[in-house]
Each structure stands twice: as structure tokens, then as C-alpha cells.
Structure 1
Amino acid sequence: MSGNSDPLTPRAKLAVTAGKAVAAASRAAGRGSGSVIGGRVALKLDPDLLARLAQHLDVVLVSATNGKTTTTRLIAEALRAAGPVVSNALGANMPAGITSALAGGSDARYGVIEVDEKYLAGVARDTDPKCIALLNLSRDQLDRAAETRMLAENWREGLAGSKAVIIANADDPLVVWAASSSPNVIWVAAGQMWKDDAWSCPSCGGVMQRPGDDWFCGECGFRRPTPSWALSGDHVLDPHGSAWPIHLQLPGRANKANAASSAAVAAVFGVPPQVALERMWQVQAVAGRYDVVRFQERDLRLLLAKNPAGWLETFSLIDPPPTPVILSVNARGADGTDTSWLWDVDYTRLSGHPICVIGDRRLDLAVRLEVANQNFQVCETLDQAVQLSPPGRIEVIANYTAFQDLRRRVGN
């Protein structure tokens, strides 16, 4: 497909130009990237703009509670082996941000788009994707997100009969339930460390049986499908049973799982696993996540963890004790204002680490750590927490807006 086979209407061109102008003004005023406000203006001028911008692209949508920004980056890197890619790499994942990203990619062949879980069905309708990657569903933003089973139902209805190839995680019962309405699903055994949102059957409500890595409902027979791709240690197994080494600079098992799903997506577009996995080495950090920054003569590794599933994965990749850990939690609009999820996180995994607690909701976190019998100090600022830590490496784990605050403070 050529990049300009379908020129935009005059109205669409006006909308794109106006959106870019507003975004540039927002950036000049120091209000961030401007992608969301630019996209909003553009969509007001042409409500069909997202569909128009996507029509000349082979589109991949990526949705999940955890890992979608990283997986979007990995897929984009892999598909660049086959042609130019446009992507919302900074994570603006609602229609306005997606529209802004696509408006900047007139010569692209592929659109690799991260989509907020609640908007997946609508964005899929607008962009006519060739492929949709579904990684996981777990509790997040408790004050406003629908209960996970309802989100899975929303996906299931929105994707029913979709022409897209669905790449779905066979180890997450909610994802399997959501994807099962689609005629063309490729299952990936990507694993599921956090299981506390999938103890009841999404199909009938019965109790889920979980022997080993398998799962099934003893009441209605809903069960784990047989995967054709799998994460196996440091390798991806393809549908022919060949094992391909994973080359990543990103840490942890969760990112290997993201790489396995990304390799399955790349194969849909004819990019072989070896090529896809080698290209993923390029991704060092994703919007500041996993970056190691020098700050006050210490090396701070910045880790984002937004919900119980994310915290569990993050604990599994930090350096062993006695590496100091700084935890920062806010509860602003973008985080969700309900912090009761802190009680779902197993903080005993931090035993042996000296812990400093910062952020708007540091006292909520302090109470939780007290109950978990952890050794911690409450600090007013990042600077104070860093000063209390010995020279060397510090692991800094923060939820969404707390992470943005950290990046601003360390100049990242």
C-alpha cells in the first residue's frame, strides 16, 4: 500500500493542520507534548479523522492493563524491518492522542497503536485493524474502571466477528473469554503472575481450577486454549516448535512475555521471529521506564507500577537486598483516587530492603507497610529519600503521576 494512495479530504487536512498548530502552541507554553489537546481539536473539526488517517495503514492495536506501552514499542521496532511505522510511542492512548500520532505519519505503512482498555472497541471500529494484541486484564483505577469482568465483556462484544487477527494471552482467562468471540485468534502462552482477578469463571461465574500453569472451569468447561506461541525461559517458541532467543535490554519476565506477543504480531506481517526479536534490542527505555539516572551521586533506576499486577512484576526484577527501594504513590486523576489497591500488593517481598516512602499518599503506603512488617521511613521529598540511602544503586518504584513527578525532578 502506498502512503498517499488515499488523500485526505480538505476538511481532514484542515483538521490535521489545526491540531498540529494547537499542539505546537501547547508545547511552547510548556504544557507537555500537546498531542491530546491537538487531537481533540482535530476530531472536533472532523469527527471521522481517525478513520481517515488509518485507512492507508496496516494497523495493529495493543491493549492491556499492564505492558501495553512497552509492547507497542517492541512491535513498532519489529515491524520497521518491513516498512515505515507510525506509533503513539509516548502512551497517549485515547482517541485524541491516537489521532495526533497518526496525523504525523503520512508516509507510514504500519500504524502500531496502544489503546486504553475502555476505548478498544471504538478505536477498532474506526481503524479497521489487521491485528489486535490483547495481553492481560486486571484491576486498575478502582474509582472509575469497570470491574474487570465487565471490561472483558466489553472487549468480547466489541471484537465479535472482527476481521482482525487477534493475538491473545492464553494464560489470562479474562483475555481468553474476551478474544473467544473472534473467528481468528492466535494464542500465546505469555504467563500470568497476578492471578487474583481470575479466580471465578468469566463465562459462568464458577470457581476456576488452576493446576500448575493450566486453568479450567470445573462447572462449564471453559478452559485454557492450546497456545501456538509460547514464552519459554529466555526463548520464544514459534508454531513450528523452533526456539528463538529473546534479545532485550529491558529487564524482567514481563518484558520477555511482551516480546513473545510482539513476535507473534510481527509474524502476522511476515517478519520472521529471529528478525523481530533481534530488532527489539533497540528498545532501552520506554517513556522513562527502566531508565537509570545519576542523581545526587546515586544511580536511580526508575520503575513504573500502577496496580497490583504491575507491582508484583516489578518486585520480581529489582536487585536483591540490601538494595535501597524508594516507593512513591499519588492518587490524582490519572492514577485513580482510590488507594485501597495497596492492600492487594504483597509488600513482604521487599523484606530486607531499606525502604523510603514518598508521594502524595505516602501515609496510606506507610500504614500498609507497617501491617506488612516492613522496615521503612517516610520522607517529604525524593531528595531527602535519596540522601538517606547509601551511595550506589537505588530502585525507585512509582505509580503514574508519581512517576512523572520523579522524571521532572531528576531531569529525565
Structure 2
Amino acid sequence: MSNLSIADGIRLGIAVGVAKTVTAVVKALRLGSASVLPGEIARRLHPKMLGLLAQQVSQGVILVVGTNGKTTTSLLLRKILVDQGYRVTHNATGANLINGLITALLADANLFGRLSTDFAILEVDENVLPLVLKDCQPRAILALNLFRDQLDRYGEVDSISQRWQKAIAPLPENTIVAVNADDPTLSHLGQKLAQRVCYFGLSEPDLYLEEIPHAVDSIYCPQCGTSLDYRGVYLSHLGDYQCPSCGFQKSQPAFHSSKWPQILIGVYNKYNTLAAGLVAQQLGVNTENIFNNIRSFKAAFGRAEELNVEGKHVRILLSKNPVGLNETIRAVNDLKLQGQCSTTLLVLNDRIADGTDVSWIWDVDTEPLVASGGTFVVSGDRLYDMALRLQYSQENLIQPSQGEEPWDGHTSRLILEENLEKAVQIALELTPAEETLHIIPTYTAMLEVRGILTGRKIL
């Protein structure tokens, strides 16, 4: 910052001032949380904004990247560091493109663009990581997983991994790179890097799936292309594996997952917990403090978030790709077996942030969800696509006429409602007081649902 010319300093001040004014106006008019627009404006006014802000973070920037779990993992890591007394900047709303990262950093900067913070935890869209690394030299990168997600935008997982490797390779050797060992693509990536690589992963065979699911992305050796031998899979292609041809095998995790506490439901949240804990450990936080923070952690918005609405208990489970929805179904069905839920609201959108291609729902194993019975309320921009997928899952899943009561003799009931507010109200009314309403939305649908339930929208 001290090397800036007078003209560049004035330009920076103008960019920061305009961005903060936009933030104030958006919030004053209750238009949202202003998590994207201020950063976009600041970047246009000063293209080097991200780098200028990132270099001021005293203890370093932590980039959290992957297809699923970024927000939950980031918030847990933030809680751990804040409880150690550190000042932490974080893009908590989940705005993970470059404009969202700049917005988060600007929020903690003064009118002159001076930033006083210890750590910046920035969750980053997997396709944007190489661009971010051009302007930002992080202290740590946390790679959670790579699944197929919005193929209309990104392509296959191996091409993303190759771009990551090329972007990470020039970073200093003391850069921490925490990698999911259970993901063959990422494990292979870690083995090829010269940086300070460490691994997390599960070691609980009792959590193996009975078979490899249909929504699987990477079961071939990333080194030689041979089909991997799996001792078992935890979700999608994540599991315990080795290559029978070239000897490639799962990297050794830093610690055993069975010894770690977990507060959020789902196997996928075991990974999120381990990931956050590993990075905190690498940054010098002792294990006892990490465990205490895990036990008191509350879910991020939309990610197993729990709300009380009209006296009803509601849990929102963001699901935006085949692996995510399969794991959500697995968690919901476990709760159904315990008699904790009988009504589910599914909301499918196809906007840019969701991915415009919704054919991925046919890679989801919806049959177990339908077979477990209950009432399914479906809404969203592509509600009829989702309804058709459920219909194919069970032939006796019948749509009732308006005002018709549930049918005797049928295990499942399907209700279609184009108006999302009405769909939410119907689902709430059908949820018994002693049960939990599970809402399963895609990303933009999650934002809309939260806006309806809480009276606030998130921009």
C-alpha cells in the first residue's frame, strides 16, 4: 500500500468510497446484504483491488475451494480462529466469485482502503481459483472435493484439477495445501505439489455405502486411467481405494475421523468438520480448542440450517448437484426412520447460479426418498422436471386434485405448487408440530426460501 502513487491512491480511495456508499444504500433500502455489487463496482474502478486488499491481511489469506461444503467449512474455521482471539474477515454470505471476495474484504477496510485483520477466510468458486491466485498469494488453500457441478459452466473434474495444479505450482513451498485424501483426483493433485501438503479423510468402514452410487465422477486412476479398486465408498467417488496397475493409492490422512466430534447431520459434514479442524491445527490451534468449537457450532444459512417458523421446526438442506442431493436424501431418510419427519419441500431452479442444465437430477437416486414415504411438495422454476423425476421413482406417486385429502393405501403423496410462497405455506401446514420440515432447494431457490421464511432477501 505504501508503494502506491498519489494518483493510484486517490483512485483507490474513490473506489472504496463508492463501494461503501453502495453498500450503505442497499442495506438502508433493505434490498439485501450487498454481498456482490460493491465489489464489482470497486473492481471496475480499480482492477488491482483484490491484490491490494489481500496483501494487507497480517496472518494470511485462507482460500476454501471445492464443489460442496465451502460455506459450512469456512464458518467453522472462522469460529475456531475467532475464539482464539483473531480478527477474521470472511465472505459469510457465500458470494464466492471475485466480486464477492472483494466485497467481503472491503467491508472491513476503512475509507482509505486500509484493512486491519489477522486472517481472511475466502470461499472460492472452483472455476475462479486460478484467477484469484493471479492476484492473491494465500497462506493456505483448503481443497474439499471435486464433483460434477454445472457442467454447462465448468466441464469435468479432471480439467478443473489440472487448472488448479497449474495455478498452485508457482506458490511458495511453505503454502499450506489441505487436501481431501478420499477424493482420488485431489489426492493425486496433492501428491504432485511441492507445497506443504496435508490430508484429511474418513476412516470409518461402517459408513461405507452398500454400492457405488450412480452419481459418481472419478473412479478411474488419475495417474494411469485404470479402474480403481475400492475397499468402500463414503459418498460418490470418495472412499478408500488403490490402483491395481500403477500403485497409486489414497494419501494418508493426518488423523482418524472416528475420534473427532460432529454436530451437523450427514457424512458430508464429517468431511467439512475434518477439513476445518485440519487447517486450524496447521495454523497452530490445539486440538482441545478445536473440539470445543466443533461441539458448539451452528450451521451456515441454508446448509442444514435450522429455523423455527410459525411454531414449526424447519431444516434447510442446500442441494445443487447429484452428490449433494444424494447425501441429503441419505440424511433425511435416516431421520424418517427415526420418525422425525414426513414432509419434504423440494425446490428446483435453473438460473445462472444454479446451473441452467437440470438434467443432473436424473443422476440422483431419488428412489430411496420416495420409497421412504411421506408428502412431497415441489416448487421452483423447474418444478415439473423434479416432479417427473419423483414420478418415475415410484409409479403410485400420484398428484392429488386441488383440496383432495391424502390417499389411503399410498405410501407417498405429491403436491405441485408453482407459487413458492404458497408451497412453503403448504409444507408448513402439513408438518406435524413434533416433526421437522426438510426443505431441499438449489442455490437461488435456497435464497428465495430463506427470504420467505425470515422476511429478508440476500443479494
Same fold (TM over 0.5): yes
Q: 1:160–1:181: 8 Å Cα contact kept in structure 2?
A: no
Describe how 1:66-85 pairs up with structure 2 within 5 A: 66-80=68-82, 81-85=84-88
Q: Structure 1 residues 55, 65: CA separation in 2 closer, same or farther (over 3 Å shift)? A: same
CA 1:190/1:214 → structure 2, altered by over 3 Å: closer, same or farther?
A: closer
The residue number in structure 1 matching 2:182 is 171
Letter in 1 for 2:378: V
**Which residue type is aligned with residue 453 of structure 2?**
V
More deviation in 251-260 or 46-55?
A: 251-260
User: C-alpha deviations, 1:252-311, integer Å up to 9, x for none?
Assistant: 332222111111101221111211231234431312432333335432221111111111
For residues 296-348 of structure 1, the C-alpha deviation after alignment (integer angstroms, 9 at most, x for no partner) is 54322211111111112222322224522221111122111111111111112
- 1:239 is aligned to none
* Counterpart amino acid of residue 278 in structure 2: A
How far does residue 251 in structure 1 lie from its aligned partner after superposition?
Answer: 2.5
CA gap 1:174/1:82 in 2 versus in 1, 3 angstroms: farther
Aligned partner (choices 385, 400, 413) of residue 364 of structure 1: 385
Q: Which residue of 1 aligns with 2:315?
A: 301
SS, match of residue 300 in structure 2: coil
Output the CA distance in 2 between the equivalents of 1:204 and 1:29: 57
Aligned to 2:199: 187
8 Å Cα contact 1:263-1:276 kept in structure 2: yes
Aligned counterparts of 1:17 and 1:59: Cα–Cα separation in 2: 24
Q: 1:285 to 1:273 in 2, by over 3 A?
A: same
Name the SS of the counterpart of 2:256 in structure 1: strand
| 1:334 counterpart residue number | 353
Q: 2:248 aligns with which of 222, 226, 230?
A: 222
Partner Cα distance (1:6, 1:79) in 2: 31
1:30 Cα shift?
A: 4.1
How far, CA to CA, are the matches of 1:10 and 1:266 in structure 2? 38
Q: Deviation string for 1:82-114 (max 9, x for gaps)?
A: 511111111111111101111223221111110
Match of 1:109 in 2: 118
2:16 aligned residue? 16
User: Of 129, 152, 161, which residue of structure 1 is paired with 2:161?
Assistant: 152
Q: Which has the higher mean CA deviation after the structures are superposed, 105-114 or 297-306?
A: 297-306
- One-letter code aligned to 2:19: G
Q: How far, CA to CA, are the matches of 2:150 and 2:283 in structure 1?
A: 34
Classify 1:270/1:294 alpha carbon distance in 2 versus 1 (closer, same or farther; 3 Å). closer
The CA distance in 2 between the partners of 1:404 and 1:369, in whole Å, is: 23
Letter of the structure 2 residue corresponding to residue 24 of structure 1: A
Equivalent residue for 2:134?
Answer: 125
What TM-score does the superposition give when structure 1 sets the normalisation length?
0.89
Distance 1:203 1:14 in 2: 50
2:268 is aligned with 1:267 = no
Greater Cα shift, 80-89 or 314-323: 314-323
CA distance in 1, matches of 2:306, 2:80: 24
Alignment-derived partner of residue 448 in structure 2: 405
Relative distance call for 1:190 and 1:112 in structure 2 (3 A) is farther
Equivalent residue, structure 1, for 2:236: none
Contact 2:144/2:179 (8 A) holds in 1: yes
* Aligned equivalent of 1:243: none
Q: Give the Cα–Cα distance (whole angstroms) in 2 for the partners of residues 17 and 391 of structure 1.
A: 49
2-side partners of 1:308 and 1:49: how far apart?
36
Matches within 5 A, 1:192-341: 196-212=216-232, 213-232=239-258, 235-236=259-260, 246=261, 248=263, 250-318=264-332, 319-321=335-337, 323=341, 324-341=343-360
Count of aligned residue pairs for this structure pair = 397
1:385 positional shift: 3.3
1:99 aligns with one of 87, 97, 102: 102
Task: For structure 1, list consecutive stretches of 5 or more residues without a partner in the other structure.
Answer: 237-245
**What is the CA-CA distance between 1:224 and the residue it aligns to?**
1.1
Instruction: Give the 3 Å change call, closer, same or farther, for CA 276–136 of structure 1 in structure 2.
Output: same
Q: 1:328 and 1:161 mapped to 2: Cα distance?
A: 42
| Mapped pair 1:377 → 2:414 | yes
Residue 59 (str. 1) matches residue 61 (str. 2)? yes
In structure 2, what residue type is equivalent to 1:45? Answer: L
Q: Percent sequence identity over matched residues?
A: 34
Report what 1:42 is aligned to.
42
User: 1:6 Cα shift?
Assistant: 8.9
Of residues 210-219 and 16-25 in structure 1, the stretch that sits farther from structure 2 once superposed is: 210-219
Cα distance change on mapping 1:274 and 1:386 into 2, 3 Å: same
For 2:229 and 2:9, locate their aligned partners in 1 and report how far apart those are by CA, in whole Å: 54
Q: CA deviation at 1:24?
A: 2.3
Partner secondary structure for residue 401 of structure 1:
helix
Aligned partner letter, 1:259: T
2:191 is aligned with what amino acid? S
Contact 2:64 2:124 in 1 (8 A): yes
Q: RMSD between aligned alpha carbons? A: 2.4
In structure 1, how many angstroms separate the alpha carbons of the residues matched to 2:2 and 2:122?
Answer: 21
Asked if the contact 2:427/2:437 (under 8 Å) is kept, the reply is no
The unaligned stretches of length 5 or more in structure 2 are 109-114, 233-238, 398-411, 418-422
2: CA distance, partners of 1:121 / 1:317: 34
2:344–2:427 CA contact under 8 A, matched in 1: no
Q: Distance in 1 between matches of 2:283 and 2:251?
A: 23
| Contact 1:83-1:109 within 8 A present in 2 as well | yes
